[in-house]
Chains A and B, each alone.
Chain A
Amino acid sequence: MELIAGTELRSMGYGDKGMQIGVENYQFGEEFQRLVMAPPPESGSSFTSLLELPPNQAVELLHSALPEGAAEDSLKQSNSTKVKAEPADSGSKSNPNSSDPSESEKSLKRKERETKGNGSSKKSKTAAKESPEDGEKLPYVHVRARRGQATDSHSLAERARREKINARMKLLQELVPGCNKISGTALVLDEIINHVQSLQRQVEYLSMRLAAANPRIDFNLDSLFSAGNGSLMDYNIANMATPMIWPESLMNGDRQEFQPQWHFQCLSQPAWVKDENGHNLVNSENSLLSFDSSANSGQLKMEL
């Protein structure tokens, strides 16, 4: 989905009595209005659902735009007005032209991410501007900050920064296996750190083994890489390396899923191996088992 070009983000601060409300004007293109008119999300727990976009598009927005306001801070500040705001929001948004924007006092959780257009910085948010009185003609929708949130430039900027960081943390959570269930930034960070450390230790261990096995390595491999298909296939068959297409599902980062798959495929190797390679098969199986056992012994060693 293409971004709406040339949009500007303006905000105004109203000095209300009890509520500190910041109002931001958005200029919507047609497409976005269509999105806006979509039914409200069921549970607006994630900002992607609040944006009513598929997550990848939402994150695309996040990454290509300069993410500005907080799309949702629900994790941090539970808001009683949240539930109220949603139907009000959808109701009011469906009639953007009917209500007078300057008087509409709806509080929206969702602040869409729009490009800054001319690359103006976040400080432009605090520029006060009067709402146009002919609001019915312009496709403006006023957005307010949630109840209890400060609207000065510092807190807005900090909120934007926090939102960016939270978005990236979510992406990291998807990368690191087993992180989805954990809630809380600190624990997720711990998990990420553990994962990176384990990967680095794996690299070290493998390099140790490779260095030990170096003298016996047959270094015709790179000739395989540079040569054409023919020699590759010959080498394949001769050395009974399974030409296996790397399943792309692996790239989604869930190790527990594909590891048994690989294991199964390794064990099913005998299916296609010919007699002459039976000797090799046994050796490879032994090497697999020995590698596993040595991995386990390495595991034990490192523990001690």
Chain B
Amino acid sequence: FTFPQTKHLPPSLSLSLPLNSRTLVMKTMNPHHQQKQPINLKSLRRRFALRFIRSLKKIHLQQNKTLKTTHLGHAIRPNKTHKLHNNGFMAAHRVKMAAYASMASAVGPRRAWTRAVLHRSTRPGSSSQTPVSRAQKLRSLVPGGEAMDMQSLLDETAHYIKCLSTQVRVMTCILDHCSSTAHQVN
């Protein structure tokens, strides 16, 4: 399979838009659900972006902390885990988990898949059988999809796709903003 083509990335898309403007209320992708879901005053995009950036900050601070302790004190023996923390092998994983967690908390517990994501911290990763049919594949992809009937699975998939695409756009925006800022500094 090929890596997903991100096509043309939107570097000019800015996150730093005035919060007071209501022009950017992101409607739900599905117009049929408009009357059902409450209108979000602060759109999903913003809520996610805010939480995600905060968690990125935390991760950044964590990484700085471990760097400093290893350099200064030599108290902590540089073992594999620390190197991994710094090098970004685990950092990527942590950023990914932070992204999913912040998206789930931005949506709230009103969706089954967000509840499954938010409860993921306590439950260890359960080994599911290799998916045989298409429905099983979909269940393995959507969080919490194992214990859902087909109807709600499709519902959750629709919402999940919408949130995932928001996530991707916001993250590309952040990334590009940061890389442009970085180049600016240097």
Interface stretch among A38-46, A104-112, A218-226? A218-226
Interface stretch among B50-58, B75-83, B104-112, B115-123? B50-58
- Specify which chain A residues have a CB less than 8 angstroms from the CB of B8 in the assembled complex: 259-260, 262-263, 266, 292
Q: Is the CB of B57 within 8 A of A222?
A: yes
Q: Is the CB of A246 within 8 A of B13?
A: yes
Chain B: minimal CB distance from A253 (Å):
5
Interface residues of B in 1-29 (CB under 8 A from A): 1-20, 23-24, 26-29
Selected contact of A192 from candidates B6, B60, B138, CB within 8 Å: B138
Contact string, A77-121, partner B, CB cutoff 8 A, digits 1/0? 000000000000000000000000000000000000000000000
Contact string, A190-221, partner B, CB cutoff 8 A, digits 1/0? 10110111111111111111111111111101
Interface residues of B in 30-82 (CB under 8 A from A): 30-33, 35-36, 45-46, 49-50, 53-54, 56-57, 59-60, 63
Residue of A nearest to B176 (CB): A291
Q: Determine chain A's interface SS by DSSP, over half rule.
A: helix
A-B contact number at CB 8 A:
262
Task: Given A207-B96, A286-B183, decide whether A189 and B35 contact each other with a Cβ distance below 8 A.
Answer: no
Q: Is the CB of B138 within 8 A of A193?
A: yes
Q: How far is the CA of A216 from the CA of B180 in the complex (A)?
A: 10
- Specify which chain B residues have a CB less than 8 angstroms from the CB of A303 in the assembled complex: 2-3
- Specify which chain A residues have a CB less than 8 angstroms from the CB of B134 in the assembled complex: 186, 189-190, 193
Interface stretch among A14-22, A132-140, A147-155, A233-241? A233-241
- Specify which chain B residues have a CB less than 8 angstroms from the CB of A229 in the assembled complex: 18-20
Residue of B nearest to A190 (CB): B134
B184 at the binding interface (Cβ < 8 Å): yes
How many residues from A make CB contacts under 8 Å with B? 90
Interface stretch among A4-12, A24-32, A68-76, A165-173? A165-173
Selected contact of B179 from candidates A211, A244, A287, CB within 8 Å: A287
Chain A: minimal CB distance from B58 (Å):
10
- Specify which chain A residues have a CB less than 8 angstroms from the CB of B165 in the assembled complex: 199, 253
Task: Given A204-B96, A221-B16, A269-B12, decide whether A214 and B183 contact each other with a Cβ distance below 8 A.
Answer: no
Q: Is the CB of A288 within 8 A of B11?
A: yes
Q: Is the CB of A212 within 8 A of B53?
A: no
Contact string, B138-178, partner A, CB cutoff 8 A, digits 1/0? 10011000000011001101101110110110011011111
- Specify which chain B residues have a CB less than 8 angstroms from the CB of A129 in the assembled complex: none
Q: Is the CB of B11 within 8 A of A284?
A: yes
- Specify which chain A residues have a CB less than 8 angstroms from the CB of B137 in the assembled complex: 193
Residue of A nearest to B20 (CB): A229
With most chain A CB atoms within 10 A of its CB, the pick from B10, B135, B183 is B10
Residue of A nearest to B96 (CB): A207
- Specify which chain B residues have a CB less than 8 angstroms from the CB of A64 in the assembled complex: 36
A144 at the binding interface (Cβ < 8 Å): no
Q: Is the CB of B151 within 8 A of A291?
A: no
Q: Is the CB of A284 within 8 A of B183?
A: yes
Q: Is the CB of B12 within 8 A of A242?
A: yes
Selected contact of A196 from candidates B50, B60, B164, CB within 8 Å: B164
Q: How far is the CA of A9 from the CA of B1 in the complex (A)?
A: 49
Q: Is the CB of B142 within 8 A of A196?
A: yes
Task: Given A246-B24, A303-B2, decide whether A165 and B150 contact each other with a Cβ distance below 8 A.
Answer: yes
Q: Is the CB of A239 within 8 A of B162?
A: no
Q: Is the CB of B29 within 8 A of A196?
A: no
A298 at the binding interface (Cβ < 8 Å): yes
Residues of B whose CB lies within 8 Å of any CB of A are 1-20, 23-24, 26-33, 35-36, 45-46, 49-50, 53-54, 56-57, 59-60, 63, 88, 91-96, 98-100, 134-135, 137-138, 141-142, 150-151, 154-155, 157-158, 160-162, 164-165, 167-168, 171-172, 174-185
Interface pairs (16), CB distance under 8 Å? A165-B154, A189-B134, A192-B138, A193-B134, A199-B167, A207-B95, A211-B95, A213-B182, A214-B59, A216-B181, A217-B56, A239-B181, A241-B14, A245-B17, A262-B10, A288-B11
What 5 pairs between A and B have smallest CB-CB spacing?
A: A198-B4, A302-B3, A263-B8, A241-B14, A211-B91
Q: A199-B164, A209-B175, A212-B92 are in contact. List 20 more A-B contacts (CB 8 A).
A: A56-B31, A60-B35, A169-B154, A172-B161, A189-B135, A193-B141, A195-B161, A197-B1, A206-B99, A207-B92, A207-B171, A214-B95, A216-B181, A232-B16, A232-B18, A245-B24, A246-B26, A291-B9, A291-B11, A298-B3
